[in-house]
Amino acid sequence: MNTNEKAIFINISAGSTRIAITENDEIVELYIELNDQQRMVGNIYKGKVQNVIPGMQAAFVDIGYEINAFLPFSEIGNPENLGNISISDEEDADEDIQPKKGRHSKPNTSQSKNLRVNDEILVQVIKEPYGGKGPRVTTDISIPGSLLVMVPGSNIVGTSRKISDKYEKRRLRRIVKEFKPAGVGLIIRTISEGKDQSILEADFNRSWEAWKVIDDKVKNQPAPVIVYQDFSTADQVIRDLFTPEVAAIVVDNKQVFKRISRYIKEVSPDQIHKLQLHNKGGSIFDQHNIEDQIQKSMRRKVWLKSGAHLVIEQTEAMMVIDVNSGRFIGKKDHEQNSTKINIEAAREVARQLRLRDIGGLIVIDFIDLHDSANKKKVFEEFRSVLKKDRAKVSLAEFSNFGLLEMTRQRVRLSLLNTVNDPCPTCNGLGMVPSKDTVITNIENWLKRFKAKSNDRRLTITVHPDIAHYLQNNKLLKGFMWENWMLLDIKEDESLAPDIFQIYSKKRKREVTAEV
């Protein structure tokens, strides 16, 4: 395999499925599906409207998930009751559109007014649940195939804008119109280039059969219920990202290898030679230096080749990225050195956004530049490398304070939130109270307890580090003399460093919560 080309590596383990996409041997995208996390994007549900809130321009829909789904009015295309959701005839609309429809249209207030509590409605998940919020859904249903995207209840025939040859576009649209039923729209994907009618029609028939199953479930099963489940992460990545630019797909699991092999033989038999089964000893990710890159992507600090580094911090409202010169020692003046670092940082920030799948509001603090021409260089470089990102991004120019602000489409959990659980000790703060702070808290507790009770014989249970600190610094004797108490120390490794428990020997029970 040519190391300068794109490759997909799929690692299957007992706990997860991991898919790494590399460019020039450098990992640029990573997808992780854990066994205990059910992916929802692409799934279609027959739901029940729970609430309609005009002030929020949204409705909440019960789809059987623990939190109601969020349906903005702007995502309501045809919210009629289910009796009208079945395949219907519409006038032909011959359009040239992108594979993904825009999500920023004005609210469809005329349709949203028809929504009532307890209405049954067909919705599709477009964004995973995140941070205590339910999944985001739309009534614009689409069923992605390998070559075509089927849009029920429409008559559009669209082509991907990435197909640049107008004659190829015309050929594909003519073929599709020959077998497309009325009342069903089709969007021709980029991978359809060069395919003949039999392959395109076979792909459509698979989506059509899926839609008939959905239609039957909608008519016969009570809401809330899932009526269509999208592909697994591995299958979806192959379906959506296996383009001619991909030089190799390497899989380390025979079952998945056979499944992908059948898929490629159906859709692009001429590309089957790109599929490889990794059956050697050792980890597929270790052999291709992917594991080390993944570990680095989890770190707060990311080093650049020049010696400069990024500091990436997640807050509740936004992601903040700081660019620091670090160990960089340039031979030019400060402005030129800073420009060089910022350009290198811009490339790495764009890569980290894709790799970590960071979404929402992002603020980047580049090294201060005084020359507006240099600021423009950095901005243009950043905008250029962001074009590789499949997620939608919106970028603003440098603010008066030298900050660059942007938003990036959030569809699923970020990499860090996917593979990590919140720390039970620091609760996401990233720090725990110092030993002296814990000692102060214990002493203040003893003083409050002494003012309320005549109980003087107590056992204090703490983390071993705190116990050793108390004993080595003779603080325990000071506590006993100052408060005129008889205190014993007990160690418990299961306790967090900032937690203590106090037991009364007189009452023979724990009294920590009494103060």
What is the structure's pLDDT at 190? 84
Q: Provide the pLDDT confidence category of residue 410 given band limits of 50, 70 and 90.
A: confident
Here the tokens at position 423 are: 């720390």
Lowest pLDDT segment from 131-145, 200-214, 328-342: 328-342
Tell me the pLDDT tens digit for each residue of 162-207: 888 889 999 999 999 999 998 899 999 888 888 889 989 998 999 9
Other Cβ atoms within 10 Å of 127 Cβ, number: 21
Here the tokens at position 472 are: 């080595």
36 touches 22 (CB < 8 A) = no
CA 53 from centroid of its chain's CA atoms: 27
3-state DSSP assignment of residue 314? strand
Report the C-alpha gap between 504 and 513 in whole angstroms.
12
Is residue 460 predicted with pLDDT exceeding 70? yes
Q: 310 or 268: whose pLDDT is higher?
A: 310
Query: Cα–Cα–Cα angle for 320, 323, 328, nearest 5°?
Result: 160
Contacts of 480 (CB under 8 A, 6+ apart): 486, 487
Q: 94 or 118: whose pLDDT is higher?
A: 118
Q: Provide the pLDDT confidence category of residue 425 given band limits of 50, 70 and 90.
A: confident
pTM, to two decimals: 0.70
Report the C-alpha gap between 339 and 323 in whole angstroms.
11
Lowest pLDDT segment from 53-67, 331-345, 475-489: 475-489
CA neighbours closer than 13 Å in the CB half-sphere of residue 9: 24
Here the tokens at position 478 are: 């000071």
Which is nearest to 73 in space by CA: 114, 129, 117, 101? 114
Handedness of CA 211, 217, 219, 222 (dihedral sign): negative
Handedness of CA 389, 393, 398, 404 (dihedral sign): negative
Is residue 102 predicted with pLDDT exceeding 50? no
Other Cβ atoms within 10 Å of 412 Cβ, number: 21
